[in-house]
Every structure is written in structure tokens, then in C-alpha cells.
Structure 1
Amino acid sequence: MTVRQHTTSSRGAQPRKGAARSTSTATSTSRARSHAGVAEPRRSGTQQRARHGARPVARKPAPHTPRGVPQVKHPRSRQAPVRSRARGKSRSRKKSTVGFVRRVIIRPSRTKQATPIIKKRLRWAVAVLVSLLIFLIGKVGYLQTVSGDDYRAAGLAARMRTTTLRAERGAIFDRNGREIAMSVPKMTLYADPTMVVDPTGTARAIAGLMQFDPVREQELATTLAARESSFTFVARQIDPARAKAVTDLRLPGVGAYKEPDRMIVDPSALAVVGGTDTDGIGTAGLEMQYNDTLAGKDGRFVREQDKDGRSIPGASNVEVEPVPGNDLVLTLDRSIQFQLNQALLSRVRQVGARGGTAVVMNSKTGDVYAMANIRRKEDGTYSNSGNYAAVEAHETGSTAKVFSIAAAINEGAVTPDSVFHVPGIQKFDEYVIRDAYPHPTQAMPVREILVKSSNLGTVLTAQRISTTTLESYLHAFGFGDKTALEFPNESAGILKPAEKWQGTEKITVAYGYGFASTSLQLVSAMNVVANNGTYVAPRLVLATIDDAGKMHNVAPSATRPVLTQETATQMNLMMRDVVCFGTGTLAKIPGMTVAGKTGTGYKVQNDGTYGSDTTGRKYFASFVGFLPAEDPQVTILVSIDEPDAGSRDRFGGTAAAPVFSDIGAFVARELRIKPPATTQPCAKADPYARAGESGH
């Protein structure tokens, strides 16, 4: 049986004009259709509402189906039967359209309620977007205007690399223009770890050429791999040829630049000249004292590079040329310096001493011709790197007798011929004082007291003046104050005010115990006698030479009167007799008159005492003199530190005087010093001879 199916859609359904059907009519019609075998379509919502009195909506008649076409009866459902795929799609579109109409057109109340919420949300979204846009525009403007320069500078700085161009350090010359210290061309290898591609391979390649040990190679590889900085040293101040061998490998991130090294041409002057560190900064001696003069002003080379470390052609590279330092001209004489160092070293070895110092200076000007320092190290070898002549102080011993006797004569308290009855031993309060050799009480003139180096005779002479006066003279001779050299770490020695002298110091200061001096102070003090009673400060620098080659002379040494010329002459004559007939006979120089004084001082032991003949002693043996005695040109000091205490050569007259003789003869030849025509050699007969006597 053929069933006709009608589909009723509310879309577009319109009631006829003037047509109105009652409910009964609609019902009867429906029944009639049912009896006729026609399925009644499901009413739409509009039609349902029509049943309850709503305005009826006309139904669209079902399409006619030709006879003979089989029909498939479908169960009633919400979906219409699908007759074909194309028609199904069409009906789906129609259904979605119907849904839209229902939501938007038929139910306008819900849309009207949602519209304010949507508008509110839209306004918030627009406000946020506008605010964000304003913020971004403001930030960009800020970066381009206010902080623009800073960011541009930071970007440029990231591309710039600055290389320091080390200024050539000034050379140091001796008084004759011979180099003592100079800068030599060297190269320094460096690396930029951020540019190194293969840290391990780079370290291995460099180590092979530089002969690094495995530990150093591994340290380099670790540093390169860490990439903690953009610069690290690989090797500093190496031979240019070795540096070139490395740079020829063209290893990424590895380069080299010039960095001069300091070389001491005359190692014997090392203690005076001092040294520099790898950065060319003076660390000791004159290199440190005159660092600002010698250093010059470093230059720099600034280049702009790309991300691979290559220089950018045409970029704003800046190069500031370094300004070389000034040269220094010293008072030292290289020949005398070398000879003095050799003579002192030889004697220190001969007497088994701990070390020694020696100074040669011009008697008129205070110019130091040579200053030698020897010190034995723990391994038994000897070093000359410390300037102990300026930085270490010790009790002078018998050389101080010259100053206390000169003070008494200059004050008019005594004369060279004043006689004292000198015992071999004497007790002062609770303290016992002895001469170096036993003798009965003897009548000794002052000159004999000096020649024989009598401790008790010197004490008796010095007691003719007050301790305050003696202290004033010692200060005038230069003790207790630094010299004008201003040498780094120079010692001022020790000289307490007279009112603080305690116990035996009131007695022993007269012959060299109770105050301490450096070798530099002692030779300058003895030079007062050589220079006719005038103190002249020691000097080490003659002049400086600027980068234009112009020489600037240093001011002459300061001077001050200490003794009258008459007193100085009297002391000169007595000191000649010390060499001719007294404790300094080993200081004689053939064909030359020499004046001087020996000194043997006990060194303080670790327990704070001077020790004893039974427990053992340590000595400081010295000789200080000048030549030629008639017209002094040079003053020389030689001190031997701790000669063998069991040897006869432990005294100033035996340990130090022979060195004075050797170096004095050399200096006389080197400086072409000739004795005056009126020079008289030592008399053959000893006017001071007494049986069984000898001093030190």
C-alpha cells in the first residue's frame, strides 16, 4: 500500500486570508487522512500552539508521489526521512537555519538579555588591548629616547675590545752611561675562551709548542672550556719566536701582543736596582722608589669586532700611542760594583760567614759608587738580592770610638795628647768593663786609646762630656735617622734619647753598644772625618733623562757641619796610625796612605744576651776607612756578618780589613786616584808598641 508522507515546516508557513478552521474540523480532517492511509505529520510547535487557541498555521500539502513507485514507511521520529544524500544535506542546512531563526528571531528576549554582557566584555577587551598597545608604544619610545644612548653604548661595548699597549720602561744607567737595567722585547700569548672552538685541542696544540707539562696543559684546557671571561693569559713575556709559532697556527680565540720584560744587565747591582713584576711595576729597590719616573704611560688600542672575533674593516678603531718612561742615571759604577761584589763574596766564603755588606762612596759628594750585599741561604748558596746595607741595623762595635772621641775633642774636653790612666778591667757600679786584651793600668794618650781600640780608655774620654752632648753628636753624625736616599724599607737604626739610656748603656754607647746603625749610616758618619768635618748625605741618582733625550740633574746631596776642620784633621791623623800601627794594618794599600777604624761587635743571641766565651758568641766584624788620607776621594765600608767564631779572622781587623785593601786598590786604579806628592808611608818604628798588646 502506498503511503503518502507530508512534511510540514513552520518556515514560511502563512495562514490563508479569511480562512479559519475550528478544532473539530482539523480533527476530522486528521481522522479522514488516517482512514485513507495517509500518515499525519508531526505538528510543529506553531501547530501545537494552534490547538490551544493560537492562530492556526496552514500546512503545506505533501508532494504528490506517482503511482507505481514503492514507498518505505519510516517510524515516526523528529527527523524527516532522507530520500537522497544531496537532499539530506539540504535538509540539514534548513534545520540549522531553523535553529538560528528560533534562537535569534523567534526568541528575541534571550538575545536582548545577552547583548549588554557581550558589550561589556567587549569594552573590557578593547580597553585591555588599547592599554597594552599604549604600554608597548611607551616602552619602545623610552628605550629609543631616554635609555637609547645607554643601550647603544652597551651594544657597542660588547663589540669593542681594548688592548693595553705597554709603555717601554725607562732604562737604568750607571754614571758612565752603561746599562744596568733595561727593557727587552717580549710577547704575551692570550686567549678569549668565548671564541675558542675546541678547548682541549687548542690547549694541546699550545702545550706542544710551549712545552707545557700535562698539569699546565689541563689547567689551560679547563680555563678555556669554562668560558668564564673573554680574556685569559696563556704565557707572558716569552720569546717572540715562540709566540709566532703559536699564532701561526691561527687557532680561533688565541692571540699575542707585545709586552716588554725587565732585564738586569749587571746582576751584582740587583740589591740596589731591585726588580719589577710581570706587569712592569717596580717591587723593590730603585725600580720601586722611582717607579713613576721609569714607568711611562701605557697606550691602548681599541678595535670593533664581529661575533667571530674578527676586526670589522672601517670600524671606529682608536689607538693611543704609549709614552716611554724616563731613564735613570745612577751614581753607581758598574766596574766597581762588580769588583766589590766579587771581593765580598770571596771573603764571606773564606771566613765561613753568614753574609756581608760593603759600600764605596765619593768622600766629597756622597755619590755611592757601589753597594754590595751577600747573604747565605739555607741551602748553602749565596744571594745578593737584598740591600741589607740600607735595611738592617746592628751595633757598630769599636768603629763608634771615632765618634765619641771626636765629640770630646770637638767640645774641647780633651786633645789627642790628653792622657788617661787606663786599667785593663774596671767595674762601673755593678758592671764590669774589660779591654779586648789584658793589660795593667797604663797611661795612654787619646791617640793611643784610638789606635789600640781601648774600650776603657774610650769610656774615660767620653765621660769628659755629658751623655746628652754625646747623643747630640751621634745624631749629627747621622745615627738614629734615615739617610736622604729614601730607599724602600730603609732603617733609621736605633738611638734612644740620653735620658733613656739605662744601666751599662751610659758607658757602652761610647764604644758602640747601646745603639744600632745601618752600614749606609756608618759609612756616611765616618765620611765626616774624610770630608773635613762636614756631613754629606749619600746619593744614588745623578740624573733623569726624559723621552726627548734631555737630561735633568738631581740636586746635590745635602750637607751639614759636624766637626771643625781642625778636629777632623786630628782624627784623620789618628786614624792613619790605626792602619799603620794599630788594629787595621791589614787594610794597607801599597803606595797609598789609608785612614780607618776597625770594629768588632758582639751580636745579640736568641736568648737576648751577647753570649760568652764558654757558651759561644756571634760577631759582626767591620772596617771603615778612606783614601788617600791626605786628600780623601773615596770612603769604603766592609762588614762581615757572623764570621767563624772560632777563627782568628773573626775580628774587624782580620775579617774585613783585607777586603778594604783589595777593593781600595782597585778603586784607586779605576778612578785614577793618585796620592799627593807629599805622601809619607807608615814609619817603620811603631811608636805605640807595648809588649803583648793587640786590639781589634
Structure 2
Amino acid sequence: MKRKKGVHKNKRLGIVIAILTSVFIILFAQLFRIMIINRSFLVSQGEEQSTKELMVMPKRGSILDRNGNELAVSADVYKVRLDLQNLDEYSIKYKKSKDIIADEISNALNLDVDNVRKSMEKKNAVGGYLRDLELARKIKKEVIDKVKQLRSDKQYYFMVIENDTNRYYPNNNFLAHALGAVDSDGSGLLGLEKYYDKDLTGVPGIKISEVDRISQELPYDDPISTQPINGKNITLTIDASIQFIAEKAAEKAMEDTKAKGVSIIVTDPKSGEILSMVNKPDFNPNDPRKGVKTSDELHQLWRNWAVNDAVEPGSTFKIVTTAAALEEELTYKDDQFYDKGYIIIDGVAINCWKPGGHGQENLVDILKNSCNPGFIELGKRLGKEKLNEYINKFGFGNPVGIDLPGETSGIIKPTNKMSNVDLATISFGQADAASMVQLIAALNTVMNNGVYTTPHLMKSMSSVGQDGNSNVVQTYQDKNVRQVISEKTANELAGYLEQVVSTGSAKAAYIEGYGIAGKTGTAEKANIGGKGYSEGKYVASFVGAAPYDDPKVSLLIAIDEPKGQYFGGDIAAPVAKDLFEQIFKEMSFKPVKN
């Protein structure tokens, strides 16, 4: 009997040992799976739940004029996000109504309480509360201080406060089309803000800190962080004083002529630096969509007419035809032409603007009188291939490379598709189309001893360190500099253009003693998407520089669809005179006494 009891006892012991052994094997297997197989996954999960990664946004670089005046700056503002899951847990744990929480948050942020309540109930696709909801942006410091106090006092750690960016244009509409604007995230939307967006934006930093289960940073832990690299400051070639003068001149021209629009560009003809760029009407970059009802209206308002659009240049293009003919030795100062008021090309009569014509003229006369038949003769001597060769050399038909987005190439008729009538009309500024920056670049080539320079707006870029000190890291380098015509040809033509202003069709721009050289233009506007021209729609223009023998400043004025008078000599040249007078005064440029 005793032996039987011993057997049973040993059997029970064996079962217990087997069970314990199995349990230990299972536990060991689980530990192996957790500690070895799934270690990386579980560690990452644990770190994700116990750490908070916050992107620290860099400050967008400022845009300054050539004298350091601020044109676009970024203010320090903040944004608030909500972790709605933590908010819900907080409400349940502390038995606090979400309505009360919404009231407190809306009061601190000056938000509509009903919108805050709706935001607090937003859920994801599977029905869970959102972990990251953007509640408010561009919050000023005095407001965010109240929010921080609320978060601390009430332990509202479901509120996440981050730095944000707010772009500010202190002069409102000033230089609007060139500066452009940014979108709601602070990224470049148009203009220089878009073209130099990468340089202005900088590189974000990262802050990683340990948090508890309610996402509150642990006080004993030192956060790991990388400092953001702020965006570069960009110094422009723009002179704010000259820009102001040009803005006022454009506004007055638009008012006086009841025009659809006015563009003015002022440059240094030797370097291609743009001192001023104006388009009217314009917009306020601080609120670029204000007052606009449709996307088409917005598109038209934002277009930089001087850069994005191409129009027939009219008689201002005669500068190029003259330069080509002089360079090829196909004409000379006393070359004789006869204008009877029209010329017939392949059965098509092309009229001079003056009924009855100008009669006998020399080369300087056809420039001074802007005589179409005379330039048709020069175009005929050059021929299709040679004329197009110079058109290309002067930068037409391709973007000039200005540092603004959306630049047009213009429209140049290919040589193999050019008829004799086309050759005739192109020679005096019709059929082909060009942008305003292409035209000012062509004039500058003549005024700069025949050397082409690219119109541009960036003068230099500077990095700004944590200590606030700035260092120039890049200056503008022109990659398109080239000799287009000889210095002799350029200087000869510059002298002729001075006579166009002093005694010719552009005499309304004449100021004694300043040696202004220039050319007016009056171009019919081509029908959009069709053949022919729009009746009664013109672009009146003037391009000029001074002094003609050592130019310090050049400018272009274009008046789009003026009402009433529409000749460039009548309405654009007087604007040029007023503009030159004010710029000369600003530059302390004195007249030359004879």
C-alpha cells in the first residue's frame, strides 16, 4: 500500500515538473520573441510613445533694396495644434466638459467658440480622434503668451505650440509684381519670393524630447535638437527712392491716359541692374487675393506685364534694324531715302504714319521721323536671314534670363516662314512680339558700347548667423554678357538717338543739357487667338537713356490701351521727361553746360 502511494506521489510530482517546464519554455519563447525577434519594432514603438519630435522652422530671409531698406520681412509668430485623443482622455479623467475647454481655448486665441467645438470632435477614417489637428496659425506673441499660461495652469498638454512664419511687406503695394508673395505655409507663390524660394526658406531644425503618457515633456530630460538654418537675405538692385518715383509716375500716367495698364522699368544700362520695376494696376502682397472674385481676374492681376507678356514693340524696334544695317555697312549717316507715304510689297501697300510721307530723308531723318518706308528699305537690304540673325543676337525670341518666374520668350517669325511682307513689317516693329525686359535689354546693348547685359534684380545674398551677423555668400554673375555690335556702331547710333529726342519724334522727352537718347513707339495690339489687330487698341511706349555718351540710367515706359491720344511721342515721351527729371535730381546728376 505504501509503495502505491509513493508511485502516485512521484507521478504527481512529474506532472507538476512537466507543467512548470512547459510554462518556463513558453515564457522563454515569449522573452526570446520580445527581446530578440521583435526588439527593434518594440523599441521604436516605445520611443515613439515616449518621445516627441518637433520641427523647428527657420526664419525666412528678408528682401532688401540696394541701400538696405526692408521690402519683405518675416515676423516671429506661432501656431497651435491639438491632440484630440489626449484631449478626450483628459476630459474623461478629470470629468471636465469639452464645452468648457473649448470656451477657455477660444478666449485665449480669440477664436469663434463654435468653430473650436467642431474642431475638437474631428475624427479619422476609422473613427478615432485626430492626433494632430491644426487649430490656429500666425498667432502673435502677446496672444501665444496667454495660450502658454492656459496650457500650464490647466495642464492642457494636448495643446501643442510651435513657431510659425508670417511674411510682411511694410510698403504694401510697393514693388508688388517683382517681390511677389508667399502662400499660407510661407512658401514662394510668385515673383522673387518664388524664384528665390529655396534660398529664402532655409533648413528646418528638429527638437526631440522625452514625454510622459500625456505628452508633457519630462523636466529632467535634456532635449536633443538641431538648430534651424535661417534663410538667406537677398539684397536687390532696386533703389527704393527711384522705385517710389516710378510708382508715382505710373499712377499719374494711368490716370491721365485712362489706360488699361502702365509699365515702367528703370535700369543701369551698363550692368543691367534694375533700379525700378512698376506695373499698374497692382496688388498688396500682404493680402494678394483681396477684391478678386475669379481665378482669371487673379491671374491677370498677378501677371508681371513687363516680364510675362509679349507685345509688338512698334517703332522702338527700329533701333535694332538701324544697328544691324550700320554694323553690316548697308547704310550710313547721309544715306538717302525717299518716302512718298507708302510702299508696295508683293502687291500690299504699307503706309507711313504720316499721310503723304516725309519726302527726301537721310538715315538720321528716318529715325527722327520714325519713317516706316525708310526702315522697310533697310530691312530689304538686310534680308530675312541677316535681320533674324541680329534679332537673335539682341536677345529676342528667347528669355533674357531675368530672375523672375514665367518670363516669356516672345514671338519671332522663323526665317523659312517669313514672307516679303513679313520682312517689311518686322523691320519697323510689327509681326514679331517682345517683352518689356527684352526691349530695355536691346536699348542697353546700344548704350553700353554694343555689349549685352542681362536685366536682373538680385545684387547679392547673405547668410545670417545665430549672432545676427550677416555675410555675403553670393553676388550676381551675368552669364549672358556678349558683344552684339561694335563699339563704333553702338556709339554712332546712340548719337542718332539723342537727335531723335532733341529734334525728332521723341522731343517731348527732351531736357536741355542731359543728352537724353531715345525712341518712341506706337503699336497696334494683335487680336488674341486670331489674325489682324484690335481696332482702337494700342501700346504707346518710349525707351531711352542718359547721357547718351556715358549713360547712367535707362528707362522704358509702356502704356497699354490708352483712351484718346495713343502715339508714344504724345503720351509716353512726356512721362519719360518727368521721370528723367526726378531721377536726375535723386542721383544728383547735373546737366552739361555748353
Name the TM-score class by shorter chain. 0.7 to 0.9
CA separation of 1:512 and 1:148: change in aligned 2, threshold 3 A? same
Q: How far off its partner does 1:630 sit?
A: 3.2
Question: Hey, what does 2:161 align to over in structure 1?
Answer: 256
Paired residues of 1:375 and 1:384 also in contact (CA < 8 A): yes
Q: Deviations over 1:611-652 (max 9, x none)?
A: 47xxx33111111000122321111001111212xx01x222
User: What CA distance in whole angstroms lies between the structure 1 residues aligned with 2:20 and 2:512?
Assistant: 109
Q: How far off its partner does 1:496 sit?
A: 3.3
Q: Deviations over 1:487-525 (max 9, x none)?
A: 222112122331222463222111112211111111010
Question: Hey, what does 1:642 align to over in structure 2?
Answer: 561
Question: Hey, what does 1:237 align to over in structure 2?
Answer: 138
User: What CA distance in whole angstroms lies between the structure 1 residues aligned with 2:159 and 2:219?
Assistant: 20
Tell me which of the two structures has the higher relative contact order, counting C-alpha pairs closer than 8 angstroms and 6 or more residues apart: 2
- Please list every run of 5 or more consecutive structure 2 residues that lacks an aligned counterpart in the other structure: 1-10, 92-96, 283-290
**Paired letter, 2:254:** V
1:44-59 map, 5 Å: none
Question: Hey, what does 2:102 align to over in structure 1?
Answer: 203
The correspondence for 1:674, drawn from 576, 587, 590, is 590
User: What CA distance in whole angstroms lies between the structure 2 residues aligned with 1:323 and 1:451?
Assistant: 57
Q: How far off its partner does 1:599 sit?
A: 0.9
Question: Hey, what does 2:547 align to over in structure 1?
Answer: 628
Question: Hey, what does 2:495 align to over in structure 1?
Answer: 573
Question: Hey, what does 1:172 align to over in structure 2?
Answer: 63
User: What CA distance in whole angstroms lies between the structure 1 residues aligned with 2:582 and 2:121?
Assistant: 58
Question: Hey, what does 2:345 align to over in structure 1?
Answer: 428
SS in 2 for 1:629: coil
SS in 1 for 2:80: strand
SS in 2 for 1:288: helix
Paired residues of 1:605 and 1:618 also in contact (CA < 8 A): no
1:507-546 map, 5 Å: 507-546=424-463
CA separation of 1:133 and 1:297: change in aligned 2, threshold 3 A? same
Question: Hey, what does 2:49 align to over in structure 1?
Answer: 158
Q: How far off its partner does 1:130 sit?
A: 7.4
Q: How far off its partner does 1:217 sit?
A: 3.9
Paired residues of 2:513 and 2:592 also in contact (CA < 8 A): no
User: What CA distance in whole angstroms lies between the structure 1 residues aligned with 2:77 and 2:101?
Assistant: 22
Question: Hey, what does 2:214 align to over in structure 1?
Answer: 308
**Paired letter, 2:264:** A
Question: Hey, what does 2:4 align to over in structure 1?
Answer: none
Paired residues of 2:187 and 2:201 also in contact (CA < 8 A): yes
**Paired letter, 1:544:** M
User: What CA distance in whole angstroms lies between the structure 2 residues aligned with 1:284 and 1:240?
Assistant: 28
SS in 1 for 2:252: helix
CA separation of 1:128 and 1:388: change in aligned 2, threshold 3 A? farther
**Paired letter, 2:143:** R
Paired residues of 2:78 and 2:162 also in contact (CA < 8 A): yes
Q: How far off its partner does 1:236 sit?
A: 0.9
Paired residues of 1:271 and 1:384 also in contact (CA < 8 A): no
Question: Hey, what does 1:137 align to over in structure 2?
Answer: 28
CA separation of 1:382 and 1:608: change in aligned 2, threshold 3 A? closer
User: What CA distance in whole angstroms lies between the structure 1 residues aligned with 2:261 and 2:117?
Assistant: 43
Question: Hey, what does 1:149 align to over in structure 2?
Answer: 40
Question: Hey, what does 1:266 align to over in structure 2?
Answer: 171
The correspondence for 2:197, drawn from 286, 291, 301, is 291
Paired residues of 2:495 and 2:549 also in contact (CA < 8 A): no
1:175-574 map, 5 Å: 175-196=66-87, 197=91, 198-213=97-112, 216-217=115-116, 219-223=118-122, 228-250=129-151, 252=156, 253-267=158-172, 268-315=174-221, 317-375=223-281, 385-440=302-357, 442-502=359-419, 504-548=421-465, 549-557=470-478, 558-574=480-496
1:22-41 map, 5 Å: none
User: What CA distance in whole angstroms lies between the structure 2 residues aligned with 1:633 and 1:312?
Assistant: 64
Q: How far off its partner does 1:598 sit?
A: 0.8
Paired residues of 2:60 and 2:232 also in contact (CA < 8 A): yes
Paired residues of 1:167 and 1:322 also in contact (CA < 8 A): yes
SS in 1 for 2:449: coil
Q: How far off its partner does 1:259 sit?
A: 1.9
CA separation of 1:154 and 1:269: change in aligned 2, threshold 3 A? same
User: What CA distance in whole angstroms lies between the structure 2 residues aligned with 1:340 and 1:589?
Assistant: 18
Paired residues of 1:188 and 1:256 also in contact (CA < 8 A): yes
CA separation of 1:230 and 1:210: change in aligned 2, threshold 3 A? same
**Paired letter, 1:565:** E
CA separation of 1:223 and 1:239: change in aligned 2, threshold 3 A? same
Q: Deviations over 1:331-389 (max 9, x none)?
A: 11111112212211221232122212111110111111111112378789999754221
Paired residues of 2:121 and 2:129 also in contact (CA < 8 A): no
**Paired letter, 1:303:** S
SS in 1 for 2:244: helix
User: What CA distance in whole angstroms lies between the structure 1 residues aligned with 2:119 and 2:420?
Assistant: 65
SS in 2 for 1:438: coil
1:597 and 2:503 matched: no
SS in 2 for 1:319: strand
Q: How far off its partner does 1:161 sit?
A: 1.5
Paired residues of 2:403 and 2:458 also in contact (CA < 8 A): no
Q: How far off its partner does 1:459 sit?
A: 0.5
Q: Deviations over 1:528-565 (max 9, x none)?
A: 12112221222222212223522245244342112222
**Paired letter, 2:498:** R
Q: Which moved more, 1:206-215 or 1:432-441?
A: 206-215
SS in 1 for 2:382: coil
SS in 1 for 2:272: coil
Q: How far off its partner does 1:470 sit?
A: 0.6
Q: How far off its partner does 1:577 sit?
A: 2.2
1:664 and 2:580 matched: yes
Paired residues of 1:421 and 1:441 also in contact (CA < 8 A): yes
User: What CA distance in whole angstroms lies between the structure 1 residues aligned with 2:238 and 2:516?
Assistant: 23
SS in 1 for 2:281: strand
SS in 1 for 2:74: strand
User: What CA distance in whole angstroms lies between the structure 2 residues aligned with 1:239 and 1:349?
Assistant: 39
Q: How far off its partner does 1:661 sit?
A: 1.6
- Please list every run of 5 or more consecutive structure 1 residues that lacks an aligned counterpart in the other structure: 1-118, 679-696
| Number of aligned residues | 553
Q: Percent identity?
A: 28
Q: Which moved more, 1:580-589 or 1:458-467?
A: 580-589
Q: Deviations over 1:86-127 (max 9, x none)?
A: xxxxxxxxxxxxxxxxxxxxxxxxxxxxxxxxx9xxx99999
Q: How far off its partner does 1:258 sit?
A: 2.4
The correspondence for 1:651, drawn from 567, 572, 592, is 567
Q: Deviations over 1:666-687 (max 9, x none)?
A: 2112222233445xxxxxxxxx
User: What CA distance in whole angstroms lies between the structure 1 residues aligned with 2:589 and 2:302?
Assistant: 30
Paired residues of 1:374 and 1:384 also in contact (CA < 8 A): no
SS in 2 for 1:241: helix
SS in 2 for 1:617: strand
Q: Which moved more, 1:270-279 or 1:591-600?
A: 270-279
Q: How far off its partner does 1:596 sit?
A: 0.6
